[in-house]
A and B are shown apart, each in its own frame.
Chain A
Amino acid sequence: MANVATLILLLQQTAQEPTSFWSRVSFNPTLSNFLTLSFLLFIIGVAGVLTRRNIIIIFMSIEMILNAANLNLIAFARYWQLNGKLSEYTGHLFTIFVIVVAAAEAAIGLGIVISLYRNRETVAIDEIDLLKW
């Protein structure tokens, strides 16, 4: 309630003053904020991989996991940048690698899906259980 009140107060102020809304927000994210976000994205991705039926959605979820990992890397890279610990661009370079690998993996994965569809006429993975005992 207090936040709502603060927010309404910020909105009133915005309507009266020429400064942006966003500049009056007093939220400066720290490293843990970013890590939390990346963790949440990761969780959502894993949940999607584990529970979704459609293979395409699973691939999307896998991308999300990868992106969560990317976010994690960029967050640490910025943190180290701000604290002057390592070379400025290590994290960014790692992230570029991950993106490339993710793209390659997606290409191959989709190729597999197409081949799978051609053989099984379905993209629901619970119908592909030949290895079942």
Chain B
Amino acid sequence: MLKLIWLIPLLPFFGFLIIGLFGKRLRLSERVIAFIACGSVAISLILSIGAVIEYASSYAPRPYLSSEAGQGFPYSFTWVPGGKAILSEGQAAGAAAEFLVNWSYQLDPLSAVMILVVTGVGFLIHVFAVGYMAGDTGFYRFFAYLNLFMFMMLILVMGSNFLMMFVGWEGVGLCSYLLIGYYFDRQEAGDASKKAFIVNRIGDFGFALAIFGVFSVFGTLEFTQVAEAIKAYPVEAFGAFGLMSWIALGLFIGATGKSAQIPLYIWLPDAMAGPTPVSALIHAATMVTAGVYMVTRTNFIFQRSVTMMFVVALVGVLTAFVAATIAFSQTDIKKVLAYSTVSQLGYMFLGCGVGAFFAGIFHLMTHAFFKALMFLGSGSVIHGMHHEQDMRLMGGLKKYMPVTFWTFAAGWIAICGILPFAGFFSKDEILWRAFITDIPGGRILWVIGFITAGFTAFYMTRLMALTFWGQYRYNDPAVQKEVYGEHRAAHAHGAHDHDLLHGDVEEDKKAVEHAHEAGRGGQFFPHESPKVMTIPLIVLAVLSVVGGWIGWPQALGGSNHFEHWIEPVIEKVDRAHSSEAQGRLQLPGEAAVAAKAQGHGESAASEGAHGDEGHNVVEYALMGASMAWALLGMYLAYFLYIKRRALLDRIVSAIHPLYVGSKNLWYWDYLLDVKVVNLFKGLNNLLWSIDAKGVDGGVNGSAWLTRLSSVVSGLIDKYVVDMAVNSVGWFVRIGSIVFRTIQTGFAQNYALVMVLGLLAFVGYYLLSR
């Protein structure tokens, strides 16, 4: 089975080709398209599971490269032959190298986790989407793009070199663009898809520069070879910004764009304009996690730059905090989940930044489960509410959509981080590692992360309260008026006013549709979703509960399988002595023997090598504190939104400026979208005017000059040259006036001349005798 890993990305690709090329032409039915799409992903999933099992039993922990199965297509073949190059940086500067990139796959613990997550969650989402997109005219297009996305994502995670990862990186960006803009007749979808792609590309610029840097230092782009060659490079201490830091910076900029961190997170909330399965798959579970995967994959570069580790952790935790504060005030259910995703991605980067890469990946996995679950759950809600997304018009859906409610609740508890649900283990691991890390500022990072965890619990409970608990508000005209304005309120009462000339036409169509629902005076009540949609929800809910058990920490009695599984991928780098050769990094839980043998006092103290008992107390305390804080946040949200609504309103009006700021996304979106973009538009206009007036003026001017010179030449030719020629003739003419009078044309004149001549001759003859 291991030999067949090359099939794993290819099957969805064939699915894409078949559905994309023949879906419309042959008018394939929805069943056939669904079968092909879901089937290809399902087989990929089965192959992935088989390959991972085989890998775990026989190959681990070293990475398995598909070139071991054989050379040539399809295992490992020369993709970019390139040519000779000379390394320009680093220790081997000046050495000759060859740019040769192979298309080959790599299966190691990290990519094993990723392919399982991608194919597993991807499969469930494909099944869900069959129900969600049923009846849509672009059904075939949707699944073609979705399969293409699976192909690209699998290339990203299975590629054995930077270039393949980059291909997958760009490919998922492309699919994101195609799928966000799926409803291409909507202005906001088109704008959002462009925004996503362009912001992604800004990040990709940094990524590309980093790849150039990697090649010019190491002469190769294969991960295994770079990991080997980088061992000779020292760790750059905090404050020093050397070669490794620059490469890591480029990589992180790419990750910022793809994984929606500050400053490039602006595209993710807008991306909610796409269909909900897209939001679940691409913008929660897989594509946005590519940045985290990339940072972990290149951990050997990041670990050699303490400055960049700090930057990664800082940006991550700040993003987590800011996104959480925005989620407080959002009223669209998908937007809350989007900002929640941004926030949780920040946690993942926090985990990676403090050196606990496995924790970042662990959180990636558990987050994929519960966030995909919640997005699909929201999709189910939206579907049941006939595409109404504003939470102010929901409420009390618990009794109308029970399955959706209970599965969503599983995700909610998971994200709040309550034992023993999945989110607890991963989030807690990250916070603990941040607390004990040797990266400077770890404690402060912990504090911010800790506070954000409480915020997370609060806004997610707020979502639950507004959506599933309380009173069902859709048919309340006051609420309709608050959300949409006067005429919608009339519709809620069943008024048949069809004068829909103002406002969003789509919204108004929905309003009329709902108003004609059920025939009960125009009242509308939601229904539960069909089984094809609820079964993936149930599966994901189960995973949200048990998915974290694989990383049950040692502090609570487990053996943290996950950490040990990922361990071989993470290089052990000694950051305490940055300018010397690396030693062994002391992680808590590891045998104290190693610590005593090395005898590194200060690093040992901060990492807690003073025995298992000592630091476990701190760990338990922190665990307890974070759970208590989360529970407090949950209870507070429940209390304010369900029990004492009036108190909530008073609090909101008290912090009104903060509320407005949060609702306006802290003006960052405004700053970039309006100010920066307008700046660039201004620059564009300036350059255009230079081109149109300056350059084109120059070109046109030279053309004008040419015409002018040709006119002058013409005049010279006509009046000067021709004049010279003509004047010769004129002179001849003038000169001949005298002589031409002899030519009278009168024959008798000629005869007279003859006679005169005769006389002259005779006279001369006679007179000279």
Interface residues in chain A, defined as those with a beta carbon under 8 Å from any beta carbon in chain B: 46, 49-51, 58, 125-126, 128-133
Q: Which of B746, B751, B752, B755 contacts A132 (CB 8 A)?
A: B746
Asked whether B745 lies within 8 Å of A128 as measured between CB atoms, the reply is: yes
| B side interface size, CB within 8 A | 12
Which of B740, B743, B745, B755 gathers the greatest number of chain A CB atoms within 10 Å?
A: B745
B758 to chain A, nearest CB (A): 9
Interface residues in chain B, defined as those with a beta carbon under 8 Å from any beta carbon in chain A: 740-748, 751-752, 755
B460 to chain A, nearest CB (A): 118
- B contact residues around A51 at 8 Å (CB): 748
Asked whether B751 lies within 8 Å of A129 as measured between CB atoms, the reply is: no
Asked whether B747 lies within 8 Å of A128 as measured between CB atoms, the reply is: yes
Cβ-closest chain A residue relative to B743: A133
Closest 8 CB pairs of A and B: A132-B745, A129-B745, A133-B740, A131-B745, A133-B743, A50-B752, A125-B747, A50-B748
A58 to B746, CA, bound (A): 13
A87 to B744, CA, bound (A): 47
A58 to B747, CA, bound (A): 11
A87 to chain B, nearest CB (A): 27
A132 to B744, CA, bound (A): 4
A50 to B753, CA, bound (A): 10
- A contact residues around B745 at 8 Å (CB): 128-133
Asked whether B755 lies within 8 Å of A129 as measured between CB atoms, the reply is: no
A130 to B751, CA, bound (A): 17
A129 to B748, CA, bound (A): 11
- B contact residues around A126 at 8 Å (CB): 746, 748
Given contacts A46-B755, A50-B755, contact A125 B748 (CB under 8 A): yes
Cβ-closest chain B residue relative to A129: B745
- A contact residues around B741 at 8 Å (CB): 133
- A contact residues around B748 at 8 Å (CB): 49-51, 58, 125-126
Cβ-closest chain A residue relative to B741: A133
Asked whether B752 lies within 8 Å of A129 as measured between CB atoms, the reply is: no
A63 to chain B, nearest CB (A): 15
A17 to B613, CA, bound (A): 206
A131 to B746, CA, bound (A): 8
Q: Could you jot down 29 A-B contacts, CB within 8 Å?
A: A46-B755, A49-B748, A49-B751, A50-B748, A50-B751, A50-B752, A51-B748, A58-B748, A125-B746, A125-B747, A125-B748, A126-B746, A126-B748, A128-B745, A129-B744, A129-B745, A129-B746, A130-B745, A131-B743, A131-B745, A132-B743, A132-B744, A132-B745, A132-B746, A133-B740, A133-B741, A133-B742, A133-B744, A133-B745
- With A50-B752, A58-B748, A129-B746 known, 11 other A-B pairs at CB within 8 A are A50-B748, A125-B746, A128-B745, A129-B745, A130-B745, A131-B743, A132-B745, A132-B746, A133-B742, A133-B743, A133-B745
A46 to B756, CA, bound (A): 11
A89 to B748, CA, bound (A): 36
B595 to chain A, nearest CB (A): 130
- B contact residues around A130 at 8 Å (CB): 745
- A contact residues around B746 at 8 Å (CB): 125-126, 129, 132
A129 to B746, CA, bound (A): 6
- A contact residues around B752 at 8 Å (CB): 50
- A contact residues around B742 at 8 Å (CB): 133
Cβ-closest chain B residue relative to A125: B747
Which of A49, A128, A133 gathers the greatest number of chain B CB atoms within 10 Å?
A: A133
B400 to chain A, nearest CB (A): 120
A133 to B737, CA, bound (A): 9
A58 to B751, CA, bound (A): 11
- B contact residues around A132 at 8 Å (CB): 743-746
A64 to chain B, nearest CB (A): 14
- A contact residues around B744 at 8 Å (CB): 129, 132-133
